[in-house]
Amino acid sequence: MASVTQQQVQQFHKDGFLVLEQFFSAEECDSMRRQIQRIVAEMEVPPHCRTAFSTREEEQLQQQGSSDYFLTSGDKIRFFFEKGVLDEKGNFLIPKEKSVSKIGHALHAYDPVFKQITHSPKVQELGRKLGLERPVVVQSMYIFKQPGIGGEVTPHQDATFLHTKPLGRILGFWIALEDATQENGCLWFIPGSHTNGITRRMVRAASGASTCVEFVGSEPAYDDKQFIPLPIRKGGLILIHGEVVHKSELNSSESSRHAFTFHVMEAKGTTWSKENWLQPTPELPFPSLYT
């Protein structure tokens, strides 16, 4: 892989994203896919997905179970499913490897294959080229975008979910483990949309609230015509500024669109919001990107 040029770094600052084709080798992509197959093969369905519900109270308990499961996933490897793939007893209605929507949020910390990719020399070099002084890894996810059912991701900014003071300290690394096309749900961006700040935040709800998180503010209505698609081949990397507006469409194709993604924060002079759903823990403080 060729080194990133200053011109590309400038392009990133102008657009809020940067496409780097063939950043990772086919072998590296295949090693991640093989590892995720192992993880899925050993997966236990979480208890909150398994209970058959009758009363409203039990339903609330299930929601609480699933919200706790999500809220405490920052330092674990946990499973999130597509809608309608489990019956009320938690049995799979389709093959289980086709049921998972994503796995998060600490693959980078606890899985040797994903840890190696996250901290690979070329990622560290890219961080330095971008001028990151004290980057730390805050979360990672393996996204399946299953054929036929991989849901759309509505327009959003990552800083809505990962808020910092000041803004502009969050950076996403999005790695295509299979070709991402317009048919199977590639990412779409509004170039230059990272310069307007954010209008919506997801915060932890007050204890005792019916949901675990709530949104403050609202997402503006974006003009579909402003989005441009970024198809990318297997092994390609898309760098995503924390405030750039992006989305992906439903995958209605026959092929999946696997991706591994992780987020980095420039920790120097930055405050991580105590209201973010994701919090560092004593077991897993945010690890340095640089080793």
pLDDT interval class at 51 (50, 70, 90): confident
Q: Is 70 exceeded by the pLDDT of residue 191?
A: yes
* pLDDT (0 to 100) of residue 5: 95
Mean pLDDT of 96-110: 95
Do the domain assignments include residue 283?
Answer: no
Q: pLDDT tens-digit profile of 201-248?
A: 999 988 777 778 899 999 899 999 999 999 999 999 999 999 999 999
Do the domain assignments include residue 280?
Answer: no
Cα–Cα distance, 291 to 288 (Å, whole number): 7
Distance set, CA 159 to CA 80, 122, 164, 170, 210 (Å): 21, 25, 7, 7, 24
Domains in the chain, number: 1
pLDDT interval class at 2 (50, 70, 90): low
pLDDT interval class at 261 (50, 70, 90): very high
Task: Tell me if 119 sits within 8 A of 288, measured CB to CB.
Answer: no
Do the domain assignments include residue 277?
Answer: no
Do the domain assignments include residue 122?
Answer: yes
Do the domain assignments include residue 284?
Answer: no
Distance set, CA 246 to CA 144, 237, 258 (Å): 18, 15, 17
Mean pLDDT of 19-38: 98
CATH code for the domain of 40: 2.60.120.620
* pLDDT (0 to 100) of residue 1: 60
For the record, the structure tokens of 125 come out as: 């070099």
Do the domain assignments include residue 286?
Answer: no
* pLDDT (0 to 100) of residue 27: 98
CB-based contacts of 129, cutoff 8 Å, min separation 6: 3, 4, 9
Domain that holds residue 32: 6-272
Q: pLDDT tens-digit profile of 52-91?
A: 777 888 888 888 888 889 999 999 999 999 888 998 888 9
Do the domain assignments include residue 157?
Answer: yes
Do the domain assignments include residue 46?
Answer: yes
* pLDDT (0 to 100) of residue 63: 82
The residue type of 29 is C
Q: What is the largest CA-CA distance in the chain?
A: 60
Per cent of the chain over pLDDT 90 is 82
DSSP result, 161-218: TS-EESSS-EEEEEEESS-B-TTTT-EEE-TTGGGS--SEEEEEPPTT-SSSEEEEE-
Say which residue the tokens 């019916």 belong to: 210
